[in-house]
Structure 1
Amino acid sequence: MPLWRAISEDEPGPKWAGLFHEYWPDYRRWWLREGDAARPSYLDSRRALATHMPEIVPIYDHLCELAGGGDQAARFLSFHIPPPYLSGCSQAIWPGREPVMVRNYDYAPNAFDSLILRTRWQGRTVMGVSDGLWGLVDGVNDAGLAVSLTFGGRRIVGEGFGVPIILRYVLQTCTTAEEAGAALARIPTHMSYNVTALDRKRRYLTAMLSPDRPAIVTHAAVATNHQENVEWVSHARFTATVERERFLLQRLTLHRDPEEKFIGAFLKPPLYSTAFAYGFGTLYTAVYRPRKGQMEVRWPGTTWTQSLSDFAEGVRHVEVPGVAV
């Protein structure tokens, strides 16, 4: 029965430091799985951050201090050219009068923070699902901007950042979908990802990011695990990325499901996956209402609701079908 936590800390401090020291042994093993020499140096990593995301360098420096000032921890926290990793995921914008962003996060349960983190770093309130303890796989900020990621279904690995730190940067510095799209197109990523953004004025976009070609910014309301064309055929077949995309497009166009029915579809096949043994099981469904500053994390039979203005710290033991207790 997976344990989830919700933690709030306005500025990086003892709560974050405690989380880091708890999670660091596992993250260190992952980060070093190709050897220390395979990862960039601290100077190269910090220089890359200062070049591409200078606004969050003060946060990074503070986190490095809280982590103990070690070389490997600082390099890991930069998210610069991390080891490659794959996920599943489906996400879509339900375009009602009060539009919502809905997503499934499909990944390995033993390589996941299981953490909802609310921060007020540099005066900007951000809330979302944590990855790497300050990166995010989805989230919303107090400007009414929500973002979410899916893996883009390409094998290419290049020189860039892990996408969770890019999402953190977007939510720290951007207020509209247009600003998010410009930042996403500018910052280099180490693998291919699709990032969807929705703002309080109902504008949305999906940016298809790749390490070896310019980003493609689209008005797509749906993203699964491929970009314009399927390139990694075996991955596409295993994850049913095309089938999931078609299913969501049908729900949005041919049937126009009401909001709750649309959200409920994420908790059932073909969107909901129990392929945990292969690292592609659905760990949670997230629902974001950026105009209200609200998020819901859903599992079959359970919902955890949070808001930027009324965030409740706590712990949840969640039954996830297919995950061993």
Structure 2
Amino acid sequence: MKQFYSDVFQFRGSHYDFGYFQGQLLKNSPILPNREKQWGPKKDRHFLVNPEEYKSIMNTFAPAILDEIQGLADALQMEMKKAFQLFGGYYLEFTRSGCSIYTDPNFMVRNYDSHPRGYEGRYIFYKPTDQGYAIIGPSMQITGRIDGMNEKGLVMGYNFTHSRKSSDGFLCNMIGRLILETCASVGEAVSLLKEIPHRHSFSYVLLDPSGESFVVEASPRKVVARKSNVCTNHFHLLDEENRYRIEETRNREKNIEDQQRYAANPFQAFKVMNNPAHHIFSKKYDAAAGTIHTSVYFPKEMKAWFVIGPDRKPVIFDFTKWLEGNNTNIKRIKGELEFDGPFINME
């Protein structure tokens, strides 16, 4: 087992200032150099190449995020075209991943399964003062979110289905950010998901304080919503979009349903996902399907749990207290994985 960590960052202010703050942090971080090495020369074939088109699309949905990218560019003394490529969350190939989600009327618990070498190790508290809702959750590609909760108690997580037949559109992490930044309820999030362009096929799981949970199956061609409290890596309604081999994801879905039936409280539900003895937590890191973190969100209590690695007690954050101006004293969340390489935030 090797030790890994996520740094905790907290910020209240405008999107531009938030971007500048993050850019200053990235100057002394190995994240960008490591990512450049991973992507290599092939990135120029997959990144957005039309900044004006991107600005037009983002202005429709969340114009303040453009200010955040401007702040990042200014702090890093970077051309805007490259900043859009690195931080825009639009039109870039995405590495496949796993992921499992279970919801109860009072909480969502989620395993994020992917390859550790692409994991940023950044857990973000952000409260904008210009526009948009405050958000708590782990980041991806700096501006995007892997999962999270906003100040209205809307919770979001997503699961990969496939990247075949991709199209121009937003990546899952930026879609997660758009949901949390601009939507106050499950209904608003479903409407947004039906309006925005999707690069790949993902399921987006949504929960708010009403206690109703929806899975939105989204591909570049069609978006549909269904009520459900379990989601793995296949569609139910858009069956024609599924990969050819989905036995593993169907079996994992049934395993979650069977075991969560006997979970009497949130901690037991968390253990079903985080303890490898239940066979949902995955160690298939080299196949980009190993569990990196387990997160739990409570939309009514406005609390969040987070762990890196298996069979650990969660770090608990009180989002309400943070929104009231009380910073958390936690600076770093540590954990262990059965993987030899580092996260990209590690030397």
Same fold (TM over 0.5): yes
Aligned pair count?
Answer: 316
Pair 1:154–1:232, CA change in 2 (3 A): farther
Work out whether residues 94 and 252 of structure 1, in 8 Å CA contact, stay in contact via their aligned partners in 2.
no
1:251-279 CA distance string (max 9 Å, x none): 455x4644322221102242100011222
Contact 1:93–1:222 at 8 Å: present in 2 too? yes
Change (3 A) 1:111 1:215: same
1:315 counterpart = 2:332: yes
Q: Does 1:28 align with 2:36?
A: yes
Alignment of 1:84-123 (within 5 A): 84-95=94-105, 99-121=106-128, 122=130
User: Do 2:5 and 2:335's aligned partners in 1 also have CA atoms closer than 8 Å?
Assistant: yes
Task: Check the 8 A contact 2:135/2:149 in 1, yes or no.
Answer: yes
1: CA distance, partners of 2:301 / 2:141: 27
Q: Return the alpha-carbon distance in structure 2 between the equivalents of residues 14 and 50 of structure 1.
A: 20
Q: Kindly provide the amino acid, as one letter, of the partner of residue 116 in structure 1.
A: Y
Work out which of the residue numbers 4, 15, 23 in structure 2 matches 1:17. Answer: 23
Per-residue deviation, 1:129:
0.9
Give the aligned residue type for 2:315.
W
Deviations along 1:40-82, one digit per CA (max 9) or x if unpaired, are 2222322332244445333333333334232312322111101
Change (3 A) 1:151 1:120: same
Q: Which residue of 1 aligns with 2:193?
A: 184
User: C-alpha distance in 1, partners of 2:256/2:60?
Assistant: 38
Q: Which residue of 1 aligns with 2:7?
A: 5
Is the counterpart of residue 302 in structure 1 residue 318 in structure 2?
no
1:324 matched to 2:340: yes
1:249 and 2:257 equivalent? yes
Query: Is the counterpart of residue 137 in structure 1 residue 146 in structure 2?
Result: yes
2:88 maps to what in 1?
78
1:233 aligns to what?
A: 244
In structure 1, what is the Cα distance between the partners aligned to 2:317 and 2:158?
Answer: 20
Aligned residue type for 2:271: G
Worse overlay, 133-142 or 54-63: 54-63
2-structure distance, mates of 1:108, 1:143: 31
5+ long unaligned stretches in structure 1? none
Q: Following the alignment from structure 2 to structure 1, what is the Cα–Cα distance between the partners of residues 90 and 102?
A: 28
Asked whether the 8 Å contact 1:208–1:216 carries over to 2, the reply is yes
Q: Contact 1:9–1:119 (CA<8 Å) still a contact in 2?
A: yes
Instruction: Pick closer, same or farther for the CA change 1:37–1:111 going to 2, 3 Å.
Output: closer
Deviations 1:267-294 (A, max 9, x none): 2242100011222110011010012221
C-alpha RMSD of matched pairs (Å): 2.2
Distance 2:47 2:207 in 1: 34
Indicate the larger mover: 146-155 or 101-110: 146-155
1:161 alignment partner in structure 2? 170
- The letter of the residue matching 2:252 is R
Q: How far off its partner does 1:250 sit?
A: 2.5
Tell me, in whole angstroms, the C-alpha distance in 1 between the residues paired with 2:56 and 2:40. Answer: 21
SS of aligned partner of 1:193: strand
Counterpart amino acid of residue 197 in structure 1: L
| Letter in structure 2 aligned against 1:247 | N
Identify if the C-alpha distance between structure 1 residues 33 and 200 changes in structure 2 by more than 3 Å, giving closer, same or farther: farther
- Cα 1:30–1:189 change in 2 (3 A) is farther
Sequence identity percentage = 21
Q: Which of structure 1's runs of 4+ aligned residues deviate more than 4 A?
A: 30-33
Cα–Cα, structure 1 residues 67 and 207, in superposed 2: closer, same or farther, change >3 Å?
A: farther
User: d(CA) in 2 for partners of 1:289 and 1:78?
Assistant: 29
